[in-house]
Structure 1
Amino acid sequence: MPTAINQARPSHSLINAELFDRLVDRIVRDEDMTRPLATRVMDQALAFLAACARDHGEPLAPSPLVDIGWHTFLLHTRAYALFCQDVAGRFLHHEPTEPATLDRGEISETRRRTLAAIEAAGYSVDLDLWPGVHAECKQDCHQCHQGCSDSPKKK
C-alpha cells in the first residue's frame, strides 16, 4: 500500500516531451486546470496506463482526475495507439462502468490494487490525485471498473 509520493522513474518519459506538453496544454484548456496540476494528472495517467499494460488478473481503475489524463490522451488516437503498442503490445481500451454497479468497498479495494500496480511497474504514485485510498471512498466515483478491457476478467 503506497503511503506517500515515492521516487521512481518518471512516467512522462513514456512519451516524448512535445506530446506530453500538448496533452498537458489540452488539460489546462479543456478542464480549466492549472498547469502544475495538469502536469501531475497527465503523469499519473501515464503511470496508470503503464500499470494496465501488465497482466494483473484483477481490474484496475483510474481516479476521476487521472481519468481526465486518459481521456485527453485518447483524443490523440494515433499517438495513443502507438503508445499502447510500445508499452503494452496491445491497445488499452477504455470501457466505463456505470457508478451504480460498484459498491464503495469494491472501489476502495480496486483503488488500492491500482496504486500497488503502479508502484510495481516502477512509477511514482501521487496520492493527492487518488482520493479514497486510506478510508472508504466517499465520492461518487464513476470511472472505469476494469481500467483496461484487456483484463483477463474481460476475456
Structure 2
Amino acid sequence: MTTMQERPTTDPRRLLGAEMRETLASNMLDKFPQLTPEKADRGVGQMLAFLAACAYADRPLSPSPLVDDFWHAFLLHTQAYREFCETKFGRFLDHQPGFLDRAEHGGGKALRARTVDAITLAGYEIDLEFWPELDLADCSQCHANCSDSPNHP
C-alpha cells in the first residue's frame, strides 16, 4: 500500500514583515470597514500567496476580486512593493489587468482554480473565503462577487 505524505503548508504572511502587513491590513480596513482586522490580516496573506505563485507560474494566474484589492493596496506602497518583489522573487511582478483569451486560458472560474492550485503547489495555505467565485458561474467578469458588486466586501 502506498501512502502519500502531505506536504506542510507555509503561512504566506511570513513573506512580509509585520509592520507592512499591519499597514496593508489597516489600509484595507479603511477602504472596507465591514472587514474585521482578522480577515484583513488573512487577506494580506492570500495576496502574498498569490504573488508567490505568480512569480514562478509558467501560465497567467488571476486573483479573486478581493485578493486583487489587497494587491492594489500593496501597489500603492510602490517602494515597499518593489523591494518586496526584488528581494523575494528577484524581479518586479507587474499588475497587468485585462481579459485573457478564453480559448487559451479558460474562463474566469478555470483560471482562478488554476491560481488556487498554483498557490497550493507553491506550498502556501489557501483560505477559500478569499476565492468565493470558485463556486460561481464560469465567467471572468460578473457581479456575483466582483469588486463593483454590492456583495463585495
Task: Give the number of aligned pairs.
Answer: 135
Unpaired runs of at least 5, structure 1: 1-5, 144-155
1:72 aligns with 2:73: yes
Q: CA RMSD in A?
A: 2.5
> Matched residues, percent identical?
41
Matched-pair contact (CA < 8 Å) for 2:15–2:48: yes
Matched residue SS, 2:133 = coil
Q: Quick check: 2:64–2:133 contact (8 Å CA) kept in 1?
A: no
Counterpart of 1:52 (choices 51, 54, 67) is: 54
TM-score, L = length of structure 1: 0.77
Give the superposition deviation at 1:135. 5.2
| Aligned positions of 1:3-152 closer than 5 A | 8-32=9-33, 33-54=35-56, 56-98=57-99, 106-134=107-135, 136-137=137-138, 140=142
Higher mean displacement: 122-131 or 134-143: 134-143
Please give the alpha-carbon distance, in whole angstroms, between the structure 1 residues aligned to 2:119 and 2:45. 12
How far did residue 134 of structure 1 move? 4.3
Letter in 2 for 1:30: K
CA displacement, residues 17-42 of structure 1 (integer Å, 9 cap, x when unaligned): 01111110111012222212211211
Shift of 1:57: 2.2
- Mapped partners of 1:7, 1:29: distance in 2: 34
Structure 2: runs of 5+ lacking an equivalent: 1-6, 148-153
Query: What amino acid does structure 2 have at the position aligned with 1:42?
Result: V
Higher Cα Rg: structure 1 or 2? 2
CA distance, structure 2, for counterparts of residue 31 and residue 93 of structure 1: 24
Deviations 1:95-149 (A, max 9, x none): 11159x769x511111111001101111001111102324534661778xxxxxx
Structure with more contact order per residue of length (Cα contacts < 8 Å, sep ≥ 6): 1
- Partner SS state of residue 132, structure 1: helix
Matched with 2:4 is none
Q: Which AA in structure 2 matches 1:86?
A: T
Equivalents in 1 of 2:124, 2:135: separation in Å?
Answer: 20
Q: Please, what TM-score do these two structures have when normalized by structure 2? A: 0.78
